[in-house]
C-alpha cells in the first residue's frame, strides 16, 4: 500500500485499487497537483461536505469513473451533480467495493454544502473512514476533535496507519492528536489539516514531541505535499 499526501487532508492510496480521500486540490494553495492531473481513481472518499474536503470529488469521479463514497446525504448531492456510481453510508456501517472494505466511523465536527444563493444543502453528518485492502488498513479521521471512542476504532479495526488532523481551531491540535494515537495504537501516524491557511498554522514536530512524551510505539511521518511512503 502506497500512501501519498496531496496537501491539506487529501491523500492518494494505491494498493489493489486507487483511492482518493478528501481531494481539495484546485483551490488549495499547497496542493501538489490539480484535479485534472488525477487520471486514474477507482474510489473517491469524502468525509464531509465542507469545501476543503468534498473539494474536487465530483470532477475526479466524472473524469475517472470512480465510485463516490460518503455519508448518504452527500451521495444524493453527488447524484444531483451527475455522478451515477455512488455508495452511501452511515456511521458504523461497512461496505465492500472490489475487495476494498470501507467502514464509516464517527467524527466530531459539522457539515454543510451551499448549492444556491438562497440556502444550504444538508451534507449529512461528518464521518471518518477505516479502509482495509488485503492485510493493510488505514484510518482517515476527517475533521474531528478528540473522542474516547477512538479507542474502539483501534481495538476493532487495528489500522496500520492513522491520518490525523492537527490544525486546531476546527479540529484536534497536536496534543489531542497524540492522545488519539494513544487510543488507536497505529504503528504510523501522519498529521494532516494544518498550515493550509494561517488559521490552522501548526508545527507538526509538536505531534512527534507529544507522541514521544506519551511513550507511544508509533512513528510520526511528517509529509510535504507530493511525499509518499509504502507499507
Per-residue confidence of the chain (231 residues) as pLDDT tens digits? 999 999 999 999 999 999 999 999 999 999 999 999 999 999 999 999 999 999 999 999 999 999 999 999 999 999 999 999 999 999 999 999 999 999 999 999 998 765 544 455 567 899 999 999 999 999 999 999 999 999 999 999 999 999 999 999 999 999 999 999 999 999 999 999 999 999 999 999 999 999 999 999 999 999 999 999 999
Based on its alpha-carbon atoms, the radius of gyration of the chain, rounded to whole angstroms, reads 16
169 inside domain: yes
Tell me, yes or no, whether 140 lies in a domain.
yes
CA within 13 Å, CB half, 125:
13
Taking the C-alpha atoms of residue 76 and residue 119, their distance in angstroms, rounded to an integer, is 17
Q: State how many domains the chain has.
A: 1
230 in any annotated domain = no
Q: What is the structure's pLDDT at 111?
A: 83
Instruction: Examine residue 155 and state whether it is found in any structural domain, yes or no.
Output: yes
Residue at 82 is within a domain: yes
Q: What is the CATH number for 211? A: 3.60.15.10
Instruction: Decide if 86 is inside a domain.
Output: yes
H helix count then E strand count, the chain: 6, 16
Residue 10 backbone phi and psi in degrees, to 5: -90, 135
What pLDDT does 122 receive?
62
Model pLDDT, residue 114: 55
Domain that holds residue 170: 2-225
> Whole-prediction pTM value?
0.96
Query: Between vectors from CA 17 to CA 16 and to CA 18, what angle results, nearest 5°?
Result: 135
Residues near 62 by beta carbon (within 8 Å), at least 6 away in sequence: 82, 83
Residue 158 CB-half CA count within 13 A = 3
196, three cell numbers:
493550509
Tell me which DSSP letter residue 132 carries: E
Matching residue, cell 463516490: 68
Q: Which pLDDT score is estimated for 66?
A: 98
In a domain, 53, yes or no: yes
- Among 118, 115, 112, 162, smallest CA distance to 141 is for 162
Whether 231 maps to a domain, the answer reads no
Bridging pattern class, strands 43-45 and 18-21? parallel
Amino acid at each position: 500500500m502506497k500512501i501519498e499526501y496531496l496537501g491539506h487532508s487529501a491523500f492518494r492510496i494505491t494498493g489493489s485499487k486507487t483511492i482518493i480521500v478528501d481531494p481539495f486540490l484546485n483551490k488549495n494553495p499547497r496542493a501538489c497537483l490539480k484535479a485534472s492531473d488525477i487520471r486514474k481513481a477507482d474510489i473517491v472518499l469524502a468525509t464531509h461536505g465542507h469545501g476543503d474536503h468534498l473539494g474536487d470529488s465530483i470532477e475526479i469521479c466524472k473524469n475517472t469513473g470512480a465510485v463516490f463514497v460518503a455519508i448518504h446525504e452527500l451521495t444524493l448531492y453527488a447524484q444531483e451533480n451527475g455522478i451515477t456510481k455512488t455508495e452511501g453510508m452511515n456511521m458504523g456501517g461497512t461496505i465492500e467495493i472490489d475487495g476494498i472494505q470501507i467502514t464509516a466511523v464517527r467524527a466530531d465536527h459539522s457539515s454543510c454544502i451551499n448549492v444556491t444563493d438562497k440556502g444550504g444543502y444538508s451534507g449529512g453528518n461528518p464521518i471518518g473512514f477505516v479502509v482495509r485492502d488485503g492485510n493493510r488498513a488505514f484510518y482517515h479521521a476527517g475533521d474531528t476533535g478528540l473522542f474516547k471512542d477512538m479507542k474502539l476504532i483501534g481495538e476493532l479495526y487495528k489500522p496500520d496507519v492513522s491520518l490525523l488532523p492537527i490544525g486546531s481551531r476546527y479540529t484536534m491540535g497536536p496534543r489531542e492528536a497524540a492522545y488519539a494515537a494513544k487510543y488507536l495504537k497505529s504503528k504510523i501516524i501522519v498529521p494532516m489539516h494544518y498550515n493550509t491557511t494561517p488559521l490552522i498554522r501548526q508545527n507538526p514536530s509538536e505531534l512527534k514531541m507529544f507522541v514521544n512524551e506519551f511513550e507511544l510505539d508509533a512513528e510520526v511521518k511528517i509529509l510535504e505535499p507530493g511525499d509518499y511512503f509504502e507499507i
